[in-house]
Structure 1
Amino acid sequence: MADGNSLFKVSIDFSQSHLFFPNIIHWILLILAVLIALTSGPKLLRQMREKKKDDKQTGAPTDWVRLLGTLVLTIIYFSLMETVGDLFPNTGFGFLFTSIPFMFLLSVLFVHQPGRREFVTITLSSIISPAVAWYVLAQMFNITLP
């Protein structure tokens, strides 16, 4: 085998390097979704046709505010991450500056008994967790973040 065709040589274009791991995760999630659909889909469809599956049977009503709030916050989070990241190219600040409010708002959405202590805990974890992740990934390991 020639050197250029070696199985042990990996070449990734820097301008596309930030897409490497998301593509891997994308395919893993897609494969898992197909497996879940194949294994659980027929049973779920049968239950839906027989109308046996409803909120009263499971014992827990659907919390539409939290469900829709999570979906809206997630869409906004991913939409803004690239926009904010473009303001500070190749620094990972897009990830950092959008993760802090996203984590804060998501935590506030799911807290059951809000109080001063809960808000302090939520605020600290919303700042510390993304900052540590940003430092480890972007600064220590030089992984390109949005």
Structure 2
Amino acid sequence: MSFENLLKVTVDFDTSHIIFPTIIAVILGILFLAILVTRGRTIFASIGSGPWWPVGIDHLRFFGTIAGTVLYFLAMPAVGDIYPNTGLGFYLCSIPYLFAMSVLYLHERGRKQLIIAGLNAVIAPSLVWYILSELFNISLP
């Protein structure tokens, strides 16, 4: 092995898109283990002694968040396949997802709150999409 090879960078574009999800999955796994190590006894004690399901949980928000997030991640590659290599799968799926999550967690759904949620749902993904795909040239799904 020579020192010339240390400065060479090759990118396999067929698998380069899975680098960041892999990093995030590893970080989340480490954080999960840290929670289990530091709070595991409390968690397992509460599961064993109390009711299996948390009392007073907001079922609509809990299951709505899970269903919306699963739908978001399933839709993103499908929409991205329609517009390949543009990041529009992320962009076009993030706007309705962010709006739906915002409306789901609103306590009052008046006109003003819905307008703010709508503006947030359009502006935030637009900025993220522009910064990542245009300025940093990072490919999005």
TM-score (norm 2): 0.91
Is the CA contact (8 Å cut-off) linking 1:66 and 1:110 kept in structure 2? yes
Is the CA contact (8 Å cut-off) linking 1:100 and 1:127 kept in structure 2? yes
Alignment of 1:2-21 (within 5 A): 2-3=2-3, 5-6=5-6, 9-21=8-20
User: Are residue 107 (structure 1) and residue 102 (structure 2) matched?
Assistant: yes
Is the CA contact (8 Å cut-off) linking 1:17 and 1:144 kept in structure 2? no
Alignment of 1:42-81 (within 5 A): 42-51=41-50, 55=55, 61-81=56-76
Give the equivalent residue in structure 2 for 1:83: 78
Paired positions, count: 140
SS of 2:85's partner is coil
SS of 1:14's partner is coil
Gaps of 5+ in 2: none
RMSD of equivalent CA atoms: 1.8
Alpha-carbon distance in structure 2 between the residues aligned to 1:138 and 1:145: 7
Residue deviations 1:17-65 (CA, integer Å, cap 9, x gap): 211111111101111111111221222212332339963xxxxx21111
Q: Percent identity?
A: 41
Instruction: Provide closer, same or farther for how the CA distance between residues 10 and 37 of structure 1 changes in structure 2, counting only shifts above 3 A.
Output: farther
Alpha-carbon distance in structure 1 between the residues aligned to 2:113 and 2:106: 8
Match of 2:132 among 107, 118, 137: 137
Give the equivalent residue in structure 2 for 1:40: 39
Partner amino acid, structure 2, of 1:139: E
User: Are residue 94 (structure 1) and residue 94 (structure 2) matched?
Assistant: no
TM-score (norm 1): 0.88
